[in-house]
A and B are shown apart, each in its own frame.
Chain A
Amino acid sequence: EPEVTQTPSHQVTQMGQEVILRCVPISNHLYFYWYRQILGQKVEFLVSFYNNEISEKSEIFDDQFSVERPDGSNFTLKIRSTKLEDSAMYFCASQREQGPNTEAFFGQGTRLTVV
C-alpha cells in the first residue's frame, strides 16, 4: 500500500539552527500538508501546498517557516532559526484531490527536539 514517508524520524537541533524536515508524499497525490503536534496537545495545521505554491497557512506558520517541493517527489518544511517552542512532532500529509469527499494520508512524523 502506498504511504507517505518522512525523514528523519527524530531530529535534535540547537536553538537558532536551521532544520529541514523531509517528506515523500504518495506519488500521484497533488495536495500536500504539514501539521505539528506538541507533546500532549492537539494536531495543528501548519500549511497546505498545491501547484507549487502555498494555498493556506496558519498563524503558526510565520516567516521562520517555509515549504518547498524541490524535485517533484520531495516536500520539505524548513525552520530557519529554531526556538525551544518548535519542539514537536511534525506530520506530513498528502491527498490525491481536493474536497471533503477524499481522505488524507499522513506520514509517521518527525520528532523535532530543540535544545
Chain B
Amino acid sequence: DAKTTQPNSMESNEEEPVHLPCNHSTISGTDYIHWYRQLPSQGPEYVIHGLTSNVNNRMASLAIAEDRKSSTLILHRATLRDAAVYYCILNFGNEKLTFGTGTRLTIIP
C-alpha cells in the first residue's frame, strides 16, 4: 500500500482555520485520497475524499497538490468538537482501509 506521512500532533485555537498536511509522494494515478477522523472513544468517521481536484463538503475542504504528492485537509473554523485523530489514507480500490497513526489535533479554547 502507498504510504502517507502526517505530523504526529497539531494544535489550533478554537474558531480558527486548521490546515492538516499529508504527504503521499508514492501515490499512484488511481489512488483516491481519503480523510477519516476518530474522536475520543469513538469509531472512525469519514470526512472527505478526492482524486485530483479540490473538494468541499459540509465538514471540511480537501486541497490536493497539482502533482498529487501532498494534500491538506482544511477545517475552516475549528470547534472543540473537532479535537480528534485525523487519518490521511490512500485508497486504490482495495477493499480495506489501512490506517496509520494519524495527526492528533488539539483545539485550544
Interfacial chain B residues near A42, Cβ < 8 Å: 99-101
Interfacial chain B residues near A56, Cβ < 8 Å: 95-96
Which of the 9-residue segments B8-16, B28-36, B71-79 touches chain A? B28-36
Interfacial chain B residues near A100, Cβ < 8 Å: 30-32, 34, 49, 91-93
A75 at the interface (CB under 8 A from B): no
* Residue from A45, A98, A99, A107 in contact with B43 in the complex, judged by beta carbons closer than 8 Å: A107
* Residue from A45, A105, A106, A109 in contact with B98 in the complex, judged by beta carbons closer than 8 Å: A45
Q: How far is the CB of B93 from chain A (nearest CB, A)?
A: 5
- A-B interface pairs (CB < 8 A), number: 60
Interface residues of A in 12-70 (CB under 8 A from B): 31, 33, 35, 42-45, 48, 50, 55-56, 58
Interfacial chain B residues near A43, Cβ < 8 Å: 38, 44, 87, 97, 99
The range of chain B's interface size is 20 to 34
* Residue from B32, B43, B96, B100 in contact with A106 in the complex, judged by beta carbons closer than 8 Å: B43
Give the dominant DSSP class at B's interface: loop
A108 touches B42 (CB 8 A): yes
Q: How far is the CA of A44 from the CA of B97 in the complex (A)?
A: 8
Q: How far is the CB of B85 from chain A (nearest CB, A)?
A: 9
B32 touches A101 (CB 8 A): yes
Q: How far is the CB of B27 from chain A (nearest CB, A)?
A: 12
Q: Known: A42-B100, A43-B38. Is A109-B95 also a contact (CB below 8 A)?
A: no
Interfacial chain B residues near A84, Cβ < 8 Å: none
Interfacial chain B residues near A115, Cβ < 8 Å: none
Q: How far is the CA of A31 from the CA of B97 in the complex (A)?
A: 13
Q: How far is the CB of A10 from chain B (nearest CB, A)?
A: 11
Q: Known: A101-B32, A101-B49. Is A55-B95 also a contact (CB below 8 A)?
A: yes
Interface residues of A in 66-96 (CB under 8 A from B): 91, 93
B51 at the interface (CB under 8 A from A): yes
Q: What is the chain A residue whose CB lies nearest that of B48? A: A103
Interfacial chain A residues near B34, Cβ < 8 Å: 100, 103
Interface residue ranges, A against B (CB under 8 Å)? 4, 31, 33, 35, 42-45, 48, 50, 55-56, 58, 91, 93, 98-101, 103-109
